[in-house]
Each structure stands twice: as C-alpha cells, then as structure tokens.
Chains A and B, each alone.
Chain A
C-alpha cells in the first residue's frame, strides 16, 4: 500500500497501533493478539466480525478506556500506552466522542442535558455557549423539539440520535461507535449511519465503527475484518468517498 505511505509522510496518522495485545485475566481470553494498525485523519473505518472477535475491545483501547498488555498506541500523534488515567480522561473529554449500542443516555437528564453533559464536565464553556452548541447539534440530529424530553419518552432511533449529538457536541477529532445500529431496526439504523458518516466527513472527523452489520460497512472507507483478536483482512470499502483526495 504505497499510497498510504506517501500520505503518512504528508500528515501524521491519527491512530497508530503497533503489536497491541490484550488478555482479560478474568476470562483468560486473548481479546487482541499483536494488532498493528494505522488510521488516518478523517477516515471512516468499520471493524467487523463475530461477537467476541475483539472489535469492541479494540475500540475501547483506541478510546483510552481500556489498557493494553503489550505493544504501543499512538493517538493524535501522542504515545498513550503509559498515560495516566487523568491524561486519558483529558484526552476523552477533549478529542473523543462515544456512541453505544444501548444509547447509554442518563435517564434522569433531559435530551438537552444529556447532550450538554460533555461540555459541562469539561466546564470550559459559558452556559450561553453550551446552550448554543446543544441547540445546533440537536437541530442537526433533527430533535430540537424534543430537547426537554426524558430518554424514556423517546424511541430507540431518537435516543441514538441524542447519543450521537452528545458524542459530537464537543467537536471531537475521533468518534468511536460500538454497534450503533445494533439495537435499531434497519431503517433507523441506516439513518443513524448516514447521519454519523456525513457529519464526520463534513467536519473532517475520524469515525471508527464496530459492527457486525454489512450495511455499516457500506459507509466506511475501510473495512477491517477481525477474528479471534486478530485482523483477518483490510479491505477498502466498495464505495470510496474520495476523502483522500
């Protein structure tokens, strides 16, 4: 892949994994087995494979949520293998956004409050800015009129759109989505994927999706097939979007 190499020279890869391994001591299962991988800024990558193939673990590791046993990770040009919890938290707060299969909204907060959460935890923006940013995001996910609803009052698709808004509100450089459509019907799933990929492309954000749905792969620049903690194959998606140009 000479093309990739030249690109590397031009701009630093946003994520770089070198021979990363991870074993869950509690189960004794090797979740990741010497994985090496490079992801460029703005890339949309889909990780595919059966349940337990290691794709969720990989996502967590790239999100600084989980630790590796051996190997090296670089995130945004920064070696994070030995970063402290505080540094990783800082990184998540500033640069990363997460979307989950089960939405993981806080049931006690309204839609708007859920979306505002990352900004408030960071505590940098004024209430006014927060309000503006939340309003913008909500209108982009088409939920402005539901701002004061509680999660329990929403449908699955709506909840996932709230989750997306929450993942994007602080303008992260990387968005990690773990089975974002796993709990949705296909129509809603499509809508979510479209929303996510379009938004990320538009804002030059890197999007990593762990999924076992073929449909998701359709939206990715690259599809990485995983099995038993190893990368089985890396295919450029059949619908390149020309991000590389």
Chain B
C-alpha cells in the first residue's frame, strides 16, 4: 500500500518536475541530449573504425585459410622448398590432404596505388581448402585452361572496380616487371571471395611460381586432416620437418596479424581512450549543469516533504531517459562518423600493415552495445554527484541561489591536495615497465595526470580568473569584467567546460609534440643513414617488404661508369621468439666504406662492419634489441633452412623503418644458411663528382625502362621516407579534428547553459541600460575566456602527456628513442584555431543572450 502510494507520488512528481520541465526547456533538453550523443558518437566512431580494420583482416585470413586446420611455414625465411611435398603422402593415409600455397602481392598497372593480394594455389584441387563459387557471368570455360599460362581468377569487387570480364587482359606489376594476364574466372561474393573485401587475385600455382620468380618455392603448405588425427599429424610433422619449418594451426595467423597490428591498435586505443575521457567530461558537463540549474526546485521539493530517495529516483530516471535517448542518437551518429573515419584508418592500415583496403563499417553488436551502455552509464553517473549533493543538503540551503557554487569554492581548497596525490601516483606509474609489451602504466599515468588537472581546475580557475579581472576590464571594459565575474560565479560549470576542452587540447598537443618530435628524429636519421646516391627498388616496395628484384638487374648495372659500389639488399619478415621481426641482408664491406649508421654506443660504422665481417656477426636495430632485451655482444638464434644459426651482435643501431626491428647479416652468412637470390633493393654509391641524374638515366636505359622498378636518387628516397611517415600519422590528425570539434561543441553547450542561467542577469543589465551588443560581447568574451583557459591548461597537460607518450608509451610499445622537439608552429596554429573556434562557438549563445527580454527574464524567476 505504502509502496503503491510512493509510486503514485513519484509518478506525479515525474510529470510535474521532469516531463513538464523538459517540455518547457526544449532547448536545454536538446543540449543535454546533443552532448550525450556527441560523447557516445566519438567513442563509438573510433572503436568501430578500429574494430573494422582488424576484423576484416582477420576474417580475410580465416577465409584464405578456409578449411585448413594445419599449416607448414618457414619460421625465419621468406619462402620454402616445395620438394617437401614429396615427403608428405603419408598424410593421405590419415585421410588428410595437403596443398601448396603462394601468397604474394601485386599492383594493378593502372596507376592506382592499391596493393592487391595474389593467392597462388593448385587451382585444380584447391576447392576443398577454400570453397568458392563463380559468378554466373564469370565461369571459366574449360576447367583445364587452368593449366595454361597467365590465367587469373579475380575477386568480385576487383572485377567490378576494374570492369573486368572473362577474357579481358589484366596488367599487373609483379616484383620488378609488368606482366599481362587473361581473366579466366570471376569469383562470386561468397566464401573465399569475401576475403580482402573481394579485392584479390587467384592464379594457379604454376603461374604464380613463374611470375613471382620463385621456381620450386612456395610460401606455405595447407593441410586438412580429420580433427581426431590433427594432434597426431602435427606431432609427426614436428618430428619430421626439416629445420627452419614449423607446423602450426592457422588461428595463429590471426594471432600473428593481431600482433603485427598491435602497435597500431595501441595507437588507436589510446585515442579512443582519450575520446572516452572527452565524452565523459562532455556528458558530465551537460548533466551537472542540467541538475545544478534545478537545485532550488530540489530544495523546494524537499521542503514539501519529498523523500531523499524520491528525489534521487526522480532525477536519476530523468538522466536514464536522457542517457538512453542521447546514446541511441550517438550510436547512429557514431556509425556515420566511423564510416567517414574508416577511410582514414584503413588507408593507414592498408599502407602499413595489411595491404588491404577496407570499405564500409563492420557493425559490431558488442561494440554498439558497449558504447550505448557506456553512454547511459556515464550519463547516470554524471548526474549522481550533483543529485546526491542537492538531495543531501538541507532544503533551505538548496533553495538558496549560488549555495552550490560557494560549496565548490570551498572545495577548491581540498581538491588540489587530491590532485597532488594523483600526480604523485602518475609519476610512480610512469617509472613502471610495460606489462606484456603493453604500456599499461604509461596509460595509467596519462589518465592520472588528466584527472589530477581536472580536479585542480576550480582552484586554478579561481585564481586565474581573479588575476584576469583587471586586464579583462582594461581590455573590454565593463563587459570584460562582467564576463570574468560570470565565469567566476559559475565556477563549477566553468571548471567542467574548461576541463573538457583541456582534455581535448592536451590530446592534440601531446600527439602533435610526439609526432613532431618523431618526425624530426626520423628526418635527422634519414639524413644520416641514407647515404647511397641511387636506390633501385620494386615499385611500391614500401607497401610490402616481400616485393623483389631479379639479381640480374644488379649484374646489368654493375659496369656502368661512375658507380663506385653496389649494395644488394634483401629484407623479409620472420618470426623471432614468437614475435614479428625482419631479417635484412646487405653488403657489409660496402657499408664499412660508405655507410653511416648511428650506433647506440657511438662506435663508427666502419669498425662495427669490419668486426661483423670478421666474426660472421650480425647487427640489430634498437627496436629489435629493446623488444628482445638484447645487448651488444649477446647472440641471436635464427631458425634457418640449414638448422639453427646462432651469431653474436656486433652492434645496435638507431632505426625507424620498422617497429619490429631488423637483424642485419652479411650476404656471406645469408648464402651459407638460406636459399634464394632475389633482392629487395639495390643501393648504389657513386664515385666522387658523378652526377646522380646521369647515372640514373643510364641505369634506366640498361634496364630497358623496366616499368616495375623505381629508380630514385638519394634526395628522392629521403623525401619518400618522410612522405610515408606523414601518411602513417595522417589519421591521427583527422582524429584531432573530431576531438576538437566535440570539445568546442562542449564549449557551446556550456555557454548555452551559462546563457540560460544568466538570463536573469542579462535582464537586469538590460534594465540598467546594457545594449544588445554589450550582452553579446559578454558571452563572446566568456567563450574566448573558456577557449583561452582551456588552451592554457591543455597546453600544460599536453606537454606533460607528450613526455609520457615519448618516453614511456612509445618507448614501451615500439622501442624507439625519440628526440624531444616542440612543433612550435603547430602549437601556435592550434592555439589560434581553438581561440577562433571557441569564439565562433559563442556566436549563437551570444545571439540568444542578446535576445533576452528584460521583463520576461525577471518574471521567470
């Protein structure tokens, strides 16, 4: 009975105070929901974009693995000898099957930069490994045409994009040459063709071996064995396989891909984490303003005998409804943002890691739900402190105007102490090592720093605003002082608004400083390390480390006049201690004479190289040494086709080409332990006084203007490295824009709230003879102040975070040493940009304030 009455009362209160209030303050409702929506949207957008690029890649790997449940692959080599297949027929007796696979990449010779996966398989027998269907208009005429040279079978999207039909000619840049193929089949969008979004090419293994210059070589062997036999077969293979080969279950591929993408994922995760922070502040901003405004109503209700829990239930259910509405809208908007963002993200992933273009967003239920729940949860949580506060004070106090503010003013003395504790913890966390390669403590330190600053914000603003009063009056007259005083009077609100802008700016600044420092470091490194005068590489080599040059090329050019030294270079990805790494092979004697690597201990390149040649030693990059905890003089052990190879490390040098690092060995060592003679690149050193352009032209001529090769001069290569660097980080700039936009919308939101809150004051000012322009100016000055203060705090925190990013987070996840550098011009631009946008975001609230009607404003109260 009692419960029923309570229910009834609550229903009445809900109608009277929540529903009606919402109806009458549509603008405020709109702002609240908009704030929540934006918060949820940005979080969702980043998460979805992130999720999509990884999931698509993993799905593709799964689809390409198909029914395969075991695979044999080289551990630390580029490819393997196919005669292994002679030793496998016993697998048939176990009711199993096995088939060779070549996985390579090519570039369509149509000028597009898109790298495309090429799958070389036994086209006769492959159906059972990778089921697929033909498009009705894309069926091969004669199945045995498969045996003819240069037939390709293309995925549906690739066919569509390039308007390919059966019988058409397709030109591909493969390694260092252009080759023509006949399209003999088009895969329907089912099964295998869904891999790589339908952007891939399949060809018979015979064709693949020929066009990729890999006679007798394959990349792996796929096996299908009955589940109950798998362990036994794997065991036997492990025992019988020649050295340098491993047998694994294909899920590992996904894991490896994940590992490979880990660094990138971390990057994005840190961003989405900051997005979450921004979202949190935004929602808190919105909700706390919405409740503080009705604090007097709460007092009245309490005075009329409403129970504390009823007040809580009332306002929390309001928050819940708004949270649900805002989060739903945010989910929709987030999907839209993600669709836009994915273009940026996937191009980075494509270029850096997977070589695969992603189109469209993968809508993931769990991620949508997560964002939705987080939105609703944060909304309710943000409502909690002000509601708790309002419900806990005596009714008389709650009804008094400004009593909450005075409370915050008092608290602002205690909060700095908490901040100091948080900063202390942050300092401690920054000293901790990474956990499993993940810089969890680094991220914790960032979070603690930001939280500490957020808490110290009222204190900071109290004194800063006090200091600003006089100069602002001097600058803008009465309006200037009124603006300062308005902000000061609403310290709680001002703090939240400035804090949310601060978080966004801090993120921008820290990333900019990190990237700027990184760029400067890389630039300096490029200047020092790239000493060769001319560089020959397969087109788009940078897109994929597996692209190759025929060694004939090197022989052809060696005799050209003016060339002093030729350094044949090879690199290929391997797995080292279960982690991705790379092997590079070079002419150490050439390096000894011409190279200029920067060794950690400052030793001269010549000395290290000569010692390495003498001792058959290797050199490794800083990143490799960091990830594997190696020092100069330690040894590395490689799984080669000739069995394990253990060599000492002659030196560790700075390198920024790969986060996984390189083990570099001389050709003499490589030839003893590995097979294959293809090259990744050729570095050419000229004799003194010879013009690079002349030699470049001569090389081009000798190679009959071979289209698949890129011949660049030193300067061109240096520019190329920087260009790729910039491309890599382009996405982060796009994300800056999103975050700053959201933060500025946050300012607008806060200003709207302030304007609504100040209606009465503006009414009084109008009575006292304030002009519309004066009132507008007050709001604009407030906007500028918020922008300025957010900028100030953001810069300070941004610098702190950039230290963490460079020295802790980056170091722990990538192992790079980055020299600190302030990108001053960017910071000045950001500062100005934010000031301008802050003031622009004040325009509409200012317009609204100017329209305040004096009698109405006073009558409302």
Binding site for B on A (CB under 8 A): 56, 60, 63, 65-66, 85-86, 89-90, 92-94, 96, 98, 100, 102, 104-109, 113, 117-118, 120-123, 152, 166, 170
Contacts and interface: CB of A to CB of B under 8 A. Distances in A.
B350 to A, nearest CB: 55
B781 to A, nearest CB: 14
B861 A123 contact: no
Contacts of A63: 767
A85 B402 CA distance: 32
| Among A93, A100, A120, residue most surrounded by chain B Cβ atoms (within 10 Å) | A120
B783 to A, nearest CB: 18
A122 B769 contact: yes
B767 A104 contact: yes
Given A65-B855, A117-B478, A108 B760 contact: no
Interface in B758-779: 760-761, 763-772, 774
A100 B858 contact: yes
Given A66-B855, A98-B767, A121 B485 contact: no
A108 B488 contact: yes
A104 B760 contact: yes
A105 B763 CA distance: 11
Contact of A117 (B488, B768, B854, B855): B768
Interface residues of B, number: 27
B485 A109 contact: yes
A113 B481 CA distance: 10
18 contacts: A60-B855, A63-B767, A65-B855, A89-B770, A92-B766, A94-B769, A98-B768, A100-B767, A102-B861, A106-B761, A107-B489, A108-B488, A118-B769, A121-B768, A121-B770, A123-B478, A152-B400, A166-B768
Contacts of B209: none
Given A100-B858, A104-B760, A106-B764, A85 B478 contact: no
A93 B769 contact: yes
B769 A121 contact: yes
B234 interface: no
A121 B767 contact: no
B401 interface: yes
Nearest to A166: B768
A166 B761 CA distance: 14
Given A60-B855, A65-B766, A85 B772 contact: yes
Nearest to B854: A65
A220 B4 CA distance: 58
Contacts of A123: 477-478
B764 to A, nearest CB: 5
A90 B488 CA distance: 29
A162 B725 CA distance: 66
Interface in B800-845: none
Contacts of A105: 764
Interface in B734-787: 760-761, 763-772, 774
Contacts of B401: 107, 152
Nearest to A116: B478
A244 B854 CA distance: 34
Contacts of B477: 120, 123
Contacts of B761: 106
B771 A118 contact: no
Nearest to B850: A85
A96 B854 CA distance: 15
Contacts of B485: 106, 108-109, 113
Given A107-B401, A108-B485, A109-B485, A89 B478 contact: no
Given A65-B854, A117-B478, A120-B478, A104 B770 contact: no
Nearest to A167: B768
A162 to B, nearest CB: 12
B486 interface: yes
Given A56-B855, A113-B485, A121-B765, 19 more contacts: A60-B855, A65-B854, A86-B771, A89-B771, A92-B766, A92-B769, A93-B769, A98-B768, A100-B767, A104-B767, A106-B764, A107-B401, A107-B402, A108-B485, A108-B486, A121-B768, A121-B769, A121-B770, A121-B771
Interface in B463-489: 477-478, 481, 485-486, 488-489
Contacts of A121: 478, 765, 768-771, 774
A86 B861 CA distance: 26
Contacts of A92: 766-769
A66 B772 CA distance: 15
B760 to A, nearest CB: 7
A86 B772 CA distance: 8
Of the listed residues A66, A100, A117, the one surrounded by the most CB atoms of chain B closer than 10 A to its CB is A117
Given A65-B766, A86-B771, A108 B478 contact: no
